[in-house]
Amino acid sequence: MSVRSAAPRLPEVQEETGYSEHPPRMGFFTDTSICIGCKACEVACKEWNRLPPDPPFQLTGLSFDNTEQLSASTWRHVAFIEQRKPVRRPSAGEQTSDHRWLMASDVCKHCTDAACLDVCPTGSLFRTEFGTVVVQADICNGCGYCVSACPYGVIDKRESDGLAWKCTLCYDRIGEGMVPACAKACPTESIQYGELSDLLDRATARVQTLHREGVTDARLYGHDPDDGVRGNGAFFLLLDEPEVYGLPPAPKDTTRDLPAMWRHMALAALTVAAGIITAFAAGR
């Protein structure tokens, strides 16, 4: 399979053009309510993709979080969030703790409207037949446009080679019918991989179950096709506001306003040119 081939359109666009012979869009559903913070996903990701190690004893001050954020060398990041908040269990009918942990495995969102893909001048970033977004390091020129364009701060440049890197959703594995390394290693199935439509049904049912059990803060994040990036290929079940997990509450495709900006710039340039011509004509 050549990664230099033209990037296919997303399934919904293909259906509009009458072309329907494509794999379903694949993605991740991360259920943070059952994440135990074991970091098996981080380790599996690093091992499969041969990523450089992180400092083993780096103290970040963020509980047991030694990686702190996604980076060119960390494509899965497990956040540890300690909260002083009453925890109640409906079955017990009383408060059982005044302290809780929120753990969440973060990853590239593989946006429907992917700004990183739009700004790449070399075509290094491309959309796969599974609807995911992948960086081809062999044609990346290290310009960094994708780094600043990502509304989630996912993409990063590696100091050792100056190239951009991020999660590929294990493109080499799923192309062979295998499960991504992180989902395969997760012992609680907090990370689930599959067809995006099936994952969304599963996630919606899970939220309803949690609400019935009294966990009213449970909500989905990144699944809405009407949000600023038209939904993600990787979405999450959260137990608090997105900001608590370091996620933007209202992500937006950073290239959405570019056409209007170019029109305004063109109009300004024409106005300046007309002024120069008028002044030159008047001088003569």
Say whether 150 counts as a known binding-site residue. yes
Say whether 83 counts as a known binding-site residue. no
Q: Which domain holds residue 190?
A: 11-253
**CA–CA separation, 74 and 45 (whole Å):** 8
Say whether 10 counts as a known binding-site residue. no
pLDDT, one tens digit per residue, over 167-180 is: 999 999 999 999 99
pLDDT, one tens digit per residue, over 66-107 is: 788 899 999 999 999 988 876 665 555 555 667 888 999 999
Determine the pLDDT at residue 83. Answer: 86
pLDDT, one tens digit per residue, over 136-187 is: 999 999 999 999 999 999 999 999 999 999 999 999 999 999 999 999 999 9
* Stretch among 46-55, 82-91, 258-267 having the lowest mean pLDDT: 258-267
130 in a domain, yes or no?
yes
Determine the pLDDT at residue 57. Answer: 62
* Greater model confidence, 255 or 48: 48
Say whether 38 counts as a known binding-site residue. yes
DSSP 30-75: EEGGG-----HHHHHHHHHHTPPPPPTT---SSTT-SS-S-BTTBS
Say whether 170 counts as a known binding-site residue. yes
Say whether 167 counts as a known binding-site residue. yes
**CA–CA separation, 243 and 83 (whole Å):** 14
Say whether 111 counts as a known binding-site residue. yes
Sign of the torsion formed by the C-alpha atoms of 224, 131, 22 and 29: negative
Determine the pLDDT at residue 146. Answer: 96
- Structural contact between residues 117 and 253, judged by C-beta atoms closer than 8 angstroms: no
Q: Which pLDDT band holds residue 7 (cuts at 50, 70, 90)?
A: very low
Looking at the fold, whether 87 and 212 belong to one and the same domain comes out as: yes
Residue percentage of the chain with pLDDT more than 70: 80
Say whether 140 counts as a known binding-site residue. yes
Looking at the fold, whether 65 and 44 belong to one and the same domain comes out as: yes
Say whether 127 counts as a known binding-site residue. no
3-state helix, strand, coil in the chain (%, to 5): 30, 20, 50
Average pLDDT over all residues of the chain: 85
Say whether 280 counts as a known binding-site residue. no
Say whether 45 counts as a known binding-site residue. yes
Compute the average pLDDT of residues 258-271. Answer: 58
Tokens of 258: 């570019």
Looking at the fold, whether 58 and 132 belong to one and the same domain comes out as: yes
H/E stretch holding 245? none
Sequence-ordered list of residues with C-beta below 8 angstroms from that of 233, at least 6 positions apart, any chain: 25, 26, 27, 28, 109, 110, 111, 112, 131, 132, 133, 169, 196
pLDDT, one tens digit per residue, over 10-35 is: 444 333 333 345 789 999 999 999 99
Tokens of 197: 């439509």
Residue 178 Ramachandran class (φ > 0 left, ψ -120 to 50 alpha, else beta): beta
Determine the pLDDT at residue 88. Answer: 62
Looking at the fold, whether 172 and 264 belong to one and the same domain comes out as: no
Compute the average pLDDT of residues 193-198. Answer: 97
What pTM was estimated for this model as a whole? 0.79
Say whether 35 counts as a known binding-site residue. yes
Say whether 30 counts as a known binding-site residue. no
Looking at the fold, whether 116 and 243 belong to one and the same domain comes out as: yes
Looking at the fold, whether 99 and 188 belong to one and the same domain comes out as: yes
* Greater model confidence, 36 or 23: 36
Say whether 41 counts as a known binding-site residue. yes
Tokens of 75: 């494509």
Residue percentage of the chain with pLDDT more than 90: 67
Looking at the fold, whether 54 and 129 belong to one and the same domain comes out as: yes
Domain count, the chain: 2
Tokens of 101: 């942990």
